[in-house]
Structure 1
Amino acid sequence: MADEEEVEEEGSKKKSKMPLIIGLVLALAGGGGGFYAVQSGMLFGSHEEAAADSHVEAEPMPNVVFVPVDPLIINLGGRSRNQFLRFRSSLEVDGAYEAEVTALLPRVLDILNGYLRAVDVKDLEDPSALIRLRAQMLRRIQTVTGEGQVKDLLIMEFVLN
């Protein structure tokens, strides 16, 4: 039995490192070959072809003007822990309608002021309600200015103090 133990100890001590070396050499050769194939354009095409394919004529930007709306400060009263709402926005308008919409800004301010005073304070405090409030305000503005003149309402500041 002593002879068997000696043979087992010698066999475990003489493990060859050749498979590890072969694996390392093959990994380096594969990595180098892959790098060369990508850089030379054999794989995925060349950089010049990709640049030529990605060059697409861009459409001209639409004639859009942003008309700033005067800031509003709305007193929320004693119904809330917040006392004031500070609101500032801009209107996205087609360039052809800029003068008409600018002339109607006092009416837009009146509509926004009236709507924001009528909204329940809980809705103003709910962060997820801002999207719905924005849609409601935009619809009212479009009613005042006329269909198709105001494309969007951009809320720049909506702060409860």
Structure 2
Amino acid sequence: MKADPKGDAALAPAGASKKKLIMIVAAAVLVAGGGGGGAAWFFLHDKGGHEEAAPTKKKGKAAKSGPPVFVPIDSFTVNLQPENGEQYLQIAFTLQVPNAEEADNIKLNMPKVRSRLLLLLSGKKASELNTVEGKQQLAAEIVGQINQPFEEKGSEQDVSDVLFTAFIIQ
């Protein structure tokens, strides 16, 4: 068998054009994928210049960074407002704050924290605290009390949540 030089020449360009076509399609896919990835990056990230103007915490404190920090508060036992005889509340909870600096500030002012909380808790009735809604309202009031500045014209604390660890009414 003798090879036909004209036939081989005719097959070579067809094979080359298929390779060329595959390379063009692959390049087009890469460009489209790169464009899609670039578009996704553009829309999902801050636009230029916004990174420097990161949001800060209220009243000039540092921005939130890292996981939250938890500050356990020793348990309280207080007399509740009388309804059906004498009733007591024993409560323990943990405060959630954004960083260790805020936790240290609360720990340094713990006498003020405990005083505010004792005044708040001793003004409650058992019937106000027995429901889930009552406990949620109490948690919001605790956050409000602790977030008030410790010093006149001082900055507010940044307690974001109260997590009850014990709650007993007798």
Scaled by the length of structure 1, the TM-score of the pair is 0.54
- Per-residue CA deviations over 1:54-78 (Å, capped at 9, x if unaligned) read xxxxxxx824221111110012365
**2:169 maps to which residue?**
160
Deviating above 4 A after TM superposition, structure 1's stretches of 4 or more consecutive aligned residues are none
Aligned twin of 2:156: 147
Query: C-alpha distance in 2, partners of 1:156/1:143?
Result: 23
| Corresponding position of 1:86 | 90
CA contact 2:96–2:162 (8 Å) conserved in 1 = yes
User: Which residues of 2 match residues 70-149 of structure 1 at below 5 A?
Assistant: 70-76=74-80, 78-80=82-84, 83-93=87-97, 94-145=99-150, 146-149=155-158
Q: What residue ranges of structure 2 are gaps of 5+ in the alignment?
A: 1-64
Q: Deviations over 1:133-156 (max 9, x none)?
A: 111111111114543532222211
- Structure 1 position 118, deviation (Å): 0.9
Aligned length: 101
- Please give the TM-score of this superposition, normalised by the length of structure 2: 0.52
Identify if the C-alpha distance between structure 1 residues 98 and 78 changes in structure 2 by more than 3 Å, giving closer, same or farther. Answer: closer
Taking structure 1 as reference, are residues 64 and 126 closer, same or farther at Cα in structure 2, changes over 3 Å only? Answer: closer
Whole-Å Cα distance in 2 between the matches of residues 82 and 159 of structure 1?
14
User: How many Å separate the matches in 1 of 2:92 and 2:122?
Assistant: 15
- 1:68 matches 2:72: yes
The structure where helix makes up a greater share of residues is 1
* Inter-CA distance 143–77: structure 2 relative to 1 (3 Å threshold): closer
SS of corresponding position for 2:156: coil
Larger-Rg structure: 1
Once residues 77 and 135 of structure 1 are traced to their aligned partners in structure 2, the CA distance between those partners, rounded to angstroms, is: 20
8 Å contact 1:63–1:95 — kept in the other structure? no
Say which SS state the counterpart of residue 73 (structure 1) adopts.
strand
Structure 1 vs Structure 2: percent identity of aligned residues? 24
Asked whether the equivalents of residues 81 and 126 of structure 2 are also in contact (C-alpha less than 8 Å), the reply is: no
In 2: Cα distance, 1:139 partner to 1:114 partner: 13
Q: Find the aligned partners of 2:104 and 2:145 in 1 and give their Cα distance.
A: 19
Unaligned stretches of 5+ residues in structure 1: 1-60
